[in-house]
Structures are given as structure tokens and as C-alpha cells.
Amino acid sequence: MNTSKITVFSRIILVLISGLFIFSLSFPMWQIELEAPQYPEGLILKLHADKIGGDVEIINGLNHYIGMKTLHTEDFIEFKILPYIMLFFSFMSLLMVFVAKRKGVLLLFVTFILFGILAGVDFYRWNYEYGHNLDPSAAIIVPGMAYQPPLIGYKQLLNFGAYSIPDIGGWMLITVGLLLGIILVKEFNLLKRFKKNKIALVLLSMGFMSSCGSTEPESIKLNVDQCSFCKMSISDGRFGAEIITKKGRVYKFDDVACLSNYVHENTVDAEKFYVHDYATENTLIPAETAYYINGTQISSPMRGNTAAFASEKIATDYMNKLDSKSITWNDVLNP
């Protein structure tokens, strides 16, 4: 028996993979959603394999005011070559059905992963150039501000929330990667090898869980970031606050009073709350473990008049100094 040959099951999966490459050309690969108060239904940019779709004209109009280049399909060589790349991978997948060699499938998988990495780097470069190379004569100029959308996930850009995620075509390609991985696991008996080394498997799982569970705060850029509630610029590094949702979205506030109002007026699936340490300029600390004082002598931007501290001793010192009272995190959320 030739053990280098792949099974019938794997060949069927390769046929499916070939079809996914073809069908992905009929759907958008990626989408960037923009949310803002003046656009309650949101704006969306759809990136197909061969064109830019969605609310392109409206977004181009907005980009013009802040000095960003307008987006046109013909300006990107990627839209000319990407369909051919998909056809190439589709052909190679079918070829592997007939070649039926494990090493051939491994080569296809590695090539596809390298393509994914290069595509990600190119997408980041594209976002960076459009977000940083701004027209100095634009109508709206915010010193130090860049408008680079996130590679994936959520990012606040002035009063717009930008959410970058795969679209249907992108999910098809992600499925391709998973299916190729399944073939390799089956054909190279990788599960049996992992079972022989349970320690390595446990460590790998712990590392994966650790990387997925990160809820570290995102630094607030003073005089650049806007409050998600009152839309004012966050300028004081002693009173700001932040919410990180379970989906990874970040909402920033110039006052804990704004955070409280936002939570009560919106459905927020919060994973973590952070507040500025009053005693340390522009340093975010976990809200649940902070110590709070409230008083009229604490003049915060939106008159929440609440200060947070990482240290109980420092909080007590300021409480006596500012003739204020001690309150809890629950008091902050529910004033």
C-alpha cells in the first residue's frame, strides 16, 4: 500500500475546496463597516476580488473633507490579479485530486497560507497609506490624527466607529484553510502524534486561550480620541474611561459620567471596564478594582466629579485634600 497517497475522503474535500475558490469570486471578500450618529444605518465598504463596492461614493465624499484619497477600483492592481490567483488555487486543488499525493496537498496548504499572509500585509499597507498620506490642504485637519482602518476588528476614527471583518467570500477562503488543515491532520495522522505528547497539546491550548482572551486597554490619545457618548475630544488624562466589549470593540469616554450614561442608554456587551488613574496622567486601570472619590472640588470634564485611583492610600489622601467622599464602582455605574 502506498502511504503517500491521500484517501478518497480527502479527494472529495479537495473538489469542494476547488469550488469554494470559484464561488468566492461571486461574493465580497472583506467589508469595512462605518458607524456614526449622522449615519444611523451605517456605511459599508465591500471589497470584492475584482472591485470595490458598497457606499463608495458617500465614503469618498467624507474622505475628501479629511484629506484621504478617494477609492477607485482601477487604482489597485490587486483587483486585476486576485481573480486569477483564485482560479490558480482552484486549478491546483483539482490537480491534487488526480495527483493524490500528501506532499502535494502540504505544498498547496503552505502556498495558500503564504498567500494569506501576503494579502494581509498588502491590505495593511493599503490601509496605512490611505490613512496616513493626507492632503495638507484638506478642509478638516486634526493635528496628529491618522485615519487608518483596523486590519481586523474595531477602531474609533473621530466620530466614526470602523469595524473590519471578512465577508462571505472571505469566510469561504477561511473555510478553505480549515479544510486543507483537516486533510493534513487526517493524512499525516497528526492527532495521534499530539496524543503522544499531551503536555505539548496542553501548552498549545493554554497559549491559544491566553491569546484569545486578551482584554488589555487601548491607550487613549488625548486631544485626538473622541468620547463615544458626548462626542467631545478627550483632553484630560485624569478622568477618561474605556469599555472593551466581548467582540473587541473599544469605546472611549472623557468622563466616567459619560461611560455610565452610555451604558444605560445602549446595549453594551462589556467584557472589561477601565478608568484613568487620577494620580497618574493618562494611565488606564481596571475599573472594578479601582478606588473612587466624589466631590465638587473634583472638576471633571462632564461634571461627573469622580476620580479613580489604583491605590487606596492615595485615594484616601486625595479624599481628605479635596473634601470629597468615597464611593464604589457600583455607585459610578449607577449614580
Contact criterion met (CB below 8 Å) for 92 and 160: no
Contact (Cβ atoms closer than 8 angstroms) between residue 326 and residue 311: no
Residues 204 and 258 in one domain: no
- Considering only residues 245 and 167, tell me which one the structure prediction assigns the higher pLDDT: 167
Whether residues 39 and 147 fall in one domain: yes
Q: Are residues 54 and 198 in the same domain?
A: yes
**What's the domain count of the chain?**
2
Residue 201 is predicted with a pLDDT of 52
Residues 288 and 270: their CA atoms lie apart, in Å, by 13
Q: What is the pLDDT of residue 37?
A: 77
pLDDT band at 58 (very low <50, low <70, confident <90, very high): very high
Residue 14 lies in a domain: yes
Examine the domain organization and report whether 324 and 184 are in the same domain: no
Give the per-residue pLDDT at 195.
62
User: Per DSSP, which regions of the chain are E strands?
Assistant: 30-36, 39-47, 52-54, 153-157, 160-166, 241-245, 250-253, 270-276, 284-286, 291-294, 306-309, 325-327
Kindly tell me if the per-residue pLDDT of 290 is higher than 70.
Answer: yes
Contact 264, 253 (CB under 8 A): no
Q: Residue 214 has what pLDDT?
A: 53
Residues 34 and 80 in one domain: yes
One domain, residues 26 and 111: yes
Beta-carbon count within 10 A of 14 CB? 26
**Are 41 and 173 in a shared domain?**
yes
Judged against a pLDDT cut of 80, whether residue 151 lies above it is answered with yes
Is residue 232 one of the residues assigned to a domain?
no
* Per-residue exposure over 169-192, b if at least 16 CB sit within 10 Å of its own CB, e if not: bbebbeebeebbeebbebbeeeee
The answer to the question of residue 220 being in a domain is: no
For the segment 197-219, the average pLDDT, to the nearest whole number, is 59
Handedness of CA 292, 298, 304, 310 (dihedral sign): negative
Distance between first and last Cα of the chain: 74
Cα–Cα distance between 10 and 47 in angstroms, integer?
31
Clarify whether residues 67 and 205 are in a common domain.
yes
For residues 200 and 302, state if they share a domain. Answer: no
- Between 262 and 190, residue with greater pLDDT: 262
- The answer to the question of residue 183 being in a domain is yes
Q: With respect to residue 233, please indicate whether it lies within any of the assigned structural domains.
A: no
Q: Where residue 157 falls among pLDDT bands split at 50, 70, 90?
A: confident
Same structural domain, 246 and 327 = yes
Do 182 and 49 share a structural domain? yes
Q: For residue 146, what pLDDT band results from cuts at 50, 70 and 90? A: confident
Which amino acid is located at 184 in the chain? Answer: L
Residue 202 located in a structural domain: yes
Q: What per-residue confidence (pLDDT) applies to 64?
A: 86
Position 38 scores a pLDDT of 82
Query: What Rg do the C-alpha atoms of the chain give, in angstroms?
Result: 25
Cell of 266: 445602549
* Model pLDDT, residue 23: 97
Residue 228 lies in a domain: no
Three-state secondary-structure class, residue 2:
coil
Which residue in 108, 233, 90 sits closest to 159, CA to CA?
233
Domain boundary (164, 194, 211) is at 211
Residue 28 located in a structural domain: yes
Domain region containing 25: 8-211
CA nearest to 327, candidates 292, 275, 295: 292
Residues 199 and 313 in one domain: no
Domain boundary among 165, 192, 211: 211
